[in-house]
Amino acid sequence: MTEVTCELCPRGCVIPPGAAGDCRIRVNLDGRLVATTYGRPSAIHIDPVEKKPLNHFRPRIPVFSIATAGCNLHCLNCQNWQLSQRGGEEMEVLLHMEPDEVVANAQKADCKAVAYTYSDPIVFYEYVYDTAERARAAGLSNIFVTAGYINERPLRELCGVLDASNTDLKAFDDGFYRRINSATLQPVLDALVTQREEGVWLEVTNLVIPTLNDDLAMIRRMAKWIIDNLGEETPLHFSQFTPMYRMRNLPPTPVTALENARAEALDAGLQYVYIGNVFGHPAANTYCPRDGTLLVKRSGFHVDEFHITPDGRCPVCREKIPGVWQ
């Protein structure tokens, strides 16, 4: 009986026979590395694409969203900890749904895409890959919602079947990643670049936590890095922290802190900067970066108005608005 090394994520867990990696669900079964949650989702929901959040990818489509137990991060403020910080056998809800069935159920529900989300889909990689292949063959899009803590080789391969990604950039600070997420920054930056290089439509989310990562100088460095490495047209979502899990000692992010972060990122040169999960905030809308025309008006996850032309431009100045609009 031999140990196996999991080469999926930067942890590189060396797993003794019968044991699991740090994510709890990738186990050494007789010298073979097996993801125990393959075909066994613990969460299934139909969400609007705006909830992923994706603001520049096939607006308004319903998305068949799945997750299994397990995660390769251990964020102190995890919103889905009952799912992510457990192994498959610890879940009360454990369905059986093979990749073909996911696609069939998505189509039955009139969804136009499948999203791999909630916990980090990196840990159920094989299930994502097989489902995404079949979903694409059936004409559905594939959406990856991730913290991006994955090695380059498996990610590059997966990008071949992905259409869009919302990737968290939790802070532009390695110390923050180590303290709050039990991860490191550089692999996440690499994963962002890889997805961009592979042509996956990419939006970035930064959860702003009071006192921990709301420093405007750091936010400016993050915005500059995004501009230099992903492009100024990359949408960035600042979202509001709510006290959760092991981080109940901090208050929700004040809206002004989100507004300050947004102003800093816009000033640094990013063109599409959003404030997420603050209902009715005007920064949930899309504006033309050239002339300020209101292009998409949103309330929550609902699109109230949509003015981008069929060829993806501002109706007033004809500026090309990046995204997948059909």
To Zn ion, the closest distance from the beta carbon of 50 in angstroms equals 22
Q: Is 204 a residue that touches Zn ion (CB under 5 A)?
A: no
Q: Are 263 and 231 in contact (CB under 8 A)?
A: no
Residue 317 binds to Zn ion (criterion: CB under 5 A): yes
Tokens of 88: 């498959």
Contacts with 114 (C-beta within 8 Å, 6 or more apart), sequence order: 63, 64, 65, 66, 102, 103, 106, 131, 132, 135, 140, 141, 142, 143
Phi and psi at residue 16, to the nearest 5°: -70, 160
The yes or no reply on residue 221 touching Zn ion (CB under 5 A) is no
- Identify whether the C-beta of residue 44 lies closer than 8 Å to the C-beta of residue 65: yes
Q: Does 314 bind Zn ion (CB under 5 A)?
A: yes
Count the neighbouring beta carbons within 10 Å of the beta carbon of residue 109. 12
Query: What's the min distance (Å) between Cβ of 54 and Zn ion?
Result: 21
The helix (H) or strand (E) run that includes residue 142 is strand 141-146
Give residues 24-83 in contact with Zn ion (rule: CB under 5 A).
Answer: none
CB 309 to Zn ion: min, Å: 11
For residue 296, the 8-state DSSP code is E
Q: Hey, is 276 helix, strand or coil? A: strand
Q: Nearest approach, Cβ of 296 to Zn ion (angstroms)?
A: 13
Q: Which residue, 255 or 294, is less far from Zn ion as judged by CB?
A: 294
CB of 322 to Zn ion, least distance (A): 13
Q: Which is nearer to Zn ion, 182 or 293 (CB)?
A: 293
Among residue numbers 276 through 295, which ones bind Zn ion (CB under 5 A)?
288, 290-291, 293
Query: Which H or E run contains 255?
Result: helix 255-268
Q: How far apart are CA 123 and CA 38, in angstroms?
A: 10
- Asked if 311 is part of the footprint of Zn ion (rule: CB under 5 A), the reply reads no
Binding mask 244-283 for Zn ion (x = CB under 5 A): ----------------------------------------
Question: Residues interacting with Zn ion, by CB under 5 A?
Answer: 288, 290-291, 293, 314, 316-317, 319
